[in-house]
Structure 1
Amino acid sequence: MDLSVMFFGADDAGADTDHAATYRDVLAVAQEADRLGLTAVWTPERHFQRVGQVFPSPPVLSAAIAATTERIQVRAGSVVLPLHHPLRVAEDWAVVDNISAGRVGLSVATGWHSTDFVLAPGHYADRRERALRDIPLLRRLWAGEEVEFTDGTGKPVAVRPQPRPHSPRLPIWITSSGNPETWVTAGRLRTNVLAATIGQTREELAEKIRRYRESFAAAPEQLGTTGRGTVTLMAHTYVGEDDAEAVRTAGAPLRRYLKSYVAQTAANRTDDGRAAALTPEQTDQLAEFALRRYLKWGGLLGSPDRCRRVLADLRDLGCDEVACFVDFGLGRDEVLAGLHRLAALRKDV
């Protein structure tokens, strides 16, 4: 099983936040993950929120990561595809692929937050359909096919994206927030799957992986795909010196991060209103409950022995890669120390 680093953003400070320092931290962690032999570094796409302020453009940040690392895979986790023209996605990531000498991969997300879609307001209602429709198109563009679009005069014109990517095949994941049908769709399209351990039981996850494998096996061969899909699971990660030190170090930052996520959900205009109705005391209780649940299932939070057992369990469930979510509020030194202890577990999983 592969181990990777996932950034998802815990920058919850005000306007005086030193974003330049945050980028330096991201690059430092990516470079150390490269030296330690981890598989990939994932960066998200997030817009207009206090959380994740430094992640509006995965290809721009990925270009910097690609230029300052040597072998680690450079991936988007995720590209919100309905916000972008697929031609632009193909062009941007072809640049990163050339800089990295073929280390690019990306996960496609449909998007969820209504505010994000000020970038493409007409694409919100049918965002899922648009994302799934554009995946085969993105594969064709990556392969260098000429595709017809409408130009500035309203007439059709055939175009071929430039530059040509370094790698002839673009590894694609579909990001799942928990809907079992997304796993089936990923199998049908022969993409990989990027999901999270959060929000589901071990049994629910096992069933989703089973359905994905069945759907993938039954699907016909498609352009740019392989014979077996990859299941990548994101998990909040801090491998501590022991269990007590891990909880002591990661507990408070993770509680703050969880509360900021609740606030972000409450600001979504399609939310059912339950998040917005929570009192501060209820939000605190919810964050504490979530933390305790992570310590029992789904989180890589604890001693090396505990985290080794969690990884072995996920491997046995059919997980191919764990994307270790490290930037939920820890400092750079703490992240790097945990990363070294994580890398030491690779030989066991």
Structure 2
Amino acid sequence: MFFGADPVAQETEHATKYEDIVAVTRAAEELGFAAVWTPERHFQQVGQVFPNPALLSAALAMVTERIALRGGSVVLPLHHPLRVVEDWSVVDNLSHGRAGFSVATGWHSADFVLAPDHYDDRRERALRDIPLLRRLWSGESGEFADGTGRMVAVRPQPVPVQAELPLWLSASGSLATWETAGRLRTGVLGATVGQNRPDLVERIARYRAAYRTAESPPAVGPHGDHGTVTLMAHTYVGTDDAEARHTAEAPLKAYLSSHMRQMQSNRDEGAPTPLDERQVDQLTDFAFHRYLSWGSLIGSADTCAARLSELRDLGCDEVACFVDFGLGQDRVLAGLHRLAALRKDLA
């Protein structure tokens, strides 16, 4: 999973970042990983190269053959559902049926300069439009207002390769979102960050229960009758624990610091109180050491194997390994090779 890119990258380095993404994705495919996730992020220092996951996935489709190409996440209230289906249908055709994405409701006020009237009711819009996405993907037409204000029936093109759209719903700590994903029979894309073990167990259990008892759509397609829990985790598998922690510490702290500043720039009423530099440093240090003890795949192969086994036992189906928090390409690739060997051992 790509999620942040280098928080200190200069604009002149963006072309190199795309080259890194291509190189890492090709390596992930060769090593047998199941999917690559690319996010949607706007106007911030973190995530500068990720304004459109469909566009980037289309490029990755042309240099890969097997690996699934997933948007993690598509901020649905920023876009017309017809355009989302059209864009991802192109990806599905270019990749011969490897497209899928997770729906996010959006959170940062600055993102919504793209759709300012959709901010206050962004959650309701996203959840309302998920069934519509599925209908449009399956070939049904929808009625929408045209340039004259009249309602017209339109059907998006091109026709996708996959009959059913692989969908996830992005969830943070809200139990209601996990249950909603179950009722909608989507997968759920969450993160180990900000959740302890008991909370995660409860959320997964409530998701499974809602998924099993949902009346529609039928429990078929990419998530079967069980659903899919995908958890994002910061990842670097080192030669040993000490090397992994030493290698990850500075770039991860820099990423966390930049991410906190992004959160503080949000003008929503629920945004955190601004912190001074000393407080940011204290919080990033605390977060880093917490990641080392729970929720990350930062450590030796043995340490990461134990954490993967634990996540599996807690009910996780997939781990989306967040690799681009400031490590160079060589280290990311070396860590992926060690992780691939570990994955084979666990299987």
TM range (shorter): over 0.9
Q: 2:318 aligns with which of 297, 310, 321?
A: 321
Matched, 1:49 2:47: no
Aligned sequence identity (%): 65
Contact 1:265/1:271 (8 A) holds in 2: no
State the Cα deviation string for residues 79-105 of structure 1 (Å, max 9, x = none).
000000000000000000000000011
2:110 is the counterpart of 1:112 = no
Out of 268, 275, 286, which is 2:283 matched to? 286
Does the Cα contact within 8 Å between 1:233 and 1:323 map onto a contact in 2? yes
Equivalent residue of 2:127, what SS?
helix
Name the CA shift for 1:215/1:155 in 2 (closer, same or farther; >3 Å). Answer: same
Q: Does 1:268 align with 2:266?
A: yes
Of residues 323, 334, 340 in structure 1, which corresponds to 2:337? Answer: 340
Inter-partner Cα distance in structure 1 for 2:174 and 2:12: 35
State the shift of 1:18 in Å.
1.0
Query: 1:189-200 alignment to 2 at 5 Å?
Result: 189-200=184-195
Would the aligned equivalents of 1:262 and 1:275 in 2 still touch at CA under 8 Å?
no
Residue equivalent to 1:256: 254
Matched AA of 1:95: V
Contact 1:114 1:270 in 2 (8 A): yes
Describe the SS at the equivalent of 1:343: helix
User: CA 1:130–1:305 in 2, change beyond 3 Å: closer, same or farther?
Assistant: same
1:174 to 141, 144, 169: 169
Structure 2 distance, partners of 1:109, 1:115, is: 15
Q: Residue in 2 aligned with 1:152?
A: 147
1:331 equivalent to 2:328? Answer: yes
Q: 1:271, CA displacement in angstroms?
A: 5.0
- Tell me if the contact between 1:265 and 1:275 (Cα under 8 Å) persists in the aligned partners: no
- Residue number in structure 1 paired with 2:212: 217
- Check conservation: 2:5, 2:49, Cα contact below 8 A: no
Question: Could you say what secondary structure the match of 2:12 adopts?
Answer: coil
Q: Any unmatched runs of 5+ in structure 1?
A: 1-5
Matches of 1:274 and 1:43 in 2, distance apart? 26
Amino acid of the residue matched to residue 208 of structure 1?
R
Contact 1:79 1:106 in 2 (8 A): yes
Counterpart of 2:335, as a letter, is: G
Does structure 2 conserve the Cα–Cα contact (< 8 Å) formed by 1:90 and 1:142? Answer: yes
> C-alpha distance in 2, partners of 1:344/1:108?
31
Cα deviation 1:234-284 (Å, max 9, x = unaligned): 0000000000000011111000000001100110001546441x1111111
TM-score when scaled to structure 1? 0.96
Aligned residue pairs total: 343
1:146 is displaced (CA, Å) by 1.1
CA contact (8 A) 1:263 1:275 kept: no
**Equivalent residues of 1:176, 1:182 under 8 A apart:** yes
* Equivalent position of 1:208 in the other structure: 203
Pair 1:9 & 2:33 matched = no
The letter for the 1-side match of 2:197 is R
Deviations along 1:31-52, one digit per CA (max 9) or x if unpaired, are 0000000000000000000110
Q: Check the 8 A contact 2:77/2:125 in 1, yes or no.
A: yes
Residue pair 2:263, 2:271 contacting (<8 A) in 1 also: no
Is the Cα–Cα contact under 8 Å of residues 259 and 283 in structure 1 kept in the other structure? yes
Other-structure match for 2:73: 78
Distance in 2 of aligned mates of 1:299 and 1:16: 29
Deviation at 1:292, TM superposition (A): 0.5
SS at the partner of 1:12? coil
Give the corresponding residue for 1:3: none
In the TM superposition, what is the alpha-carbon distance from 1:228 to its structure 2 partner? 2.2
User: Residue in 1 aligned with 2:231?
Assistant: 233
- 2:157 aligned to 145, 150, 162, which one? 162
TM-score (norm 2): 0.97
What's the CA shift for 1:169?
A: 1.0
Determine the C-alpha separation between the residues in 1 that align with 2:154 and 2:249: 51
Distance in 1 (alpha carbons) for counterparts of 2:6 and 2:243 = 23
Q: In structure 2, do the counterparts of structure 1 residues 217 and 61 end up closer, same or farther at CA, with 3 Å as the change threshold?
A: same
Within 1, Cα distance between the matches of 2:176 and 2:216?
A: 20
Q: 2:122 matched to which residue of 1?
A: 127
Aligned partner letter, 2:74? V
Counterpart in 2 of 1:245? 243
Q: Mind listing any 5+ residue stretches in structure 2 that lack a counterpart?
A: none
